[in-house]
Homo-oligomer: A and B are copies of this chain.
Amino acid sequence: MALKKLDKKPEETRETELGLSECLLDRTGFLLKKSALRIQEAYEERLGPLGLAAKHYGVLSVLEERGSITQHEIGKCVYVDRTTMVGIIDDLEKKGLVERKEHPTDRRSHAVYLTAKAKEVLAKAHHLASSVEKQFLECLSVKEQKELRQILRKLVVAHYSSTKAGERGEG
């Protein structure tokens, strides 16, 4: 806490006091990254006791929504690449939450199914996820929360559709 500035005049002091940088707070990139990190942390923390990481929850949710689909399809939904999906499905299989069964029409593929146990776990996980988000967003008005979701959705849809997206996975 010793020195603050060596050669700058002590003027503007807004959030800067908190150790935040005014110019970075104007960069959507910085803001997105930091808020994404924080909410993910909250997810990990709350889903942890259930034996799930956020990535597992994402995959289970997709399976619940779309029914049994292949690993490749799941990857496209959650934007995780094929090699990473192998590990995630391995994890979930070890936990007894999914099963790889043979695909009815394509023997190269695995049809991934949720187990009964997964359905129970998912119910709890959905609940936790909602509570994480509620808590994380509680500093916003309900209107802002809705706006945020809509705007982000627009961004994500725009940036994960055309392009090379769907081939890749980085998440």
Return A73 CB to nearest CB of chain B, in Å: 8
**What 0/1 pattern do residues 11 to 47 of A give for CB contact below 8 A with B?**
0000110111111111111111111111111110000
Question: Is the CB–CB distance between A160 and B21 below 8 Å?
Answer: no
With an 8 A cutoff between CB atoms, is A94 at the interface?
no
**Which listed residue, B3, B36, B111, B159, touches A32 by the CB 8 Å rule?**
B36
A140's partner among B8, B67, B69, B154 (CB-CB below 8 A) is B154
With contacts A21-B77, A29-B132, A36-B33 known, is A155 near B170, CB below 8 A? no
B152 touches A28 (CB 8 A): yes
Please tell me which one of the listed residues B7, B18, B61 contacts residue A67 in the complex, with CB atoms under 8 A apart: B7
Q: Do A24 and B77 touch across chains, with their CB atoms under 8 A apart?
A: yes
In the complex this chain forms, how many copies of it are found?
Answer: 2
> Smallest distance from the beta carbon of A110 to chain B beta carbons, Å?
11
Which residue on chain B has the smallest CB distance to residue A19?
Answer: B76
Using CB atoms and an 8 Å cutoff, list the residues of chain A in contact with chain B. Answer: 2-8, 15-16, 18-43, 54, 58, 61-62, 64-70, 73, 76-79, 103-106, 109, 111, 129, 132-133, 136-137, 139-140, 144-145, 147-149, 151-161, 166, 170-171
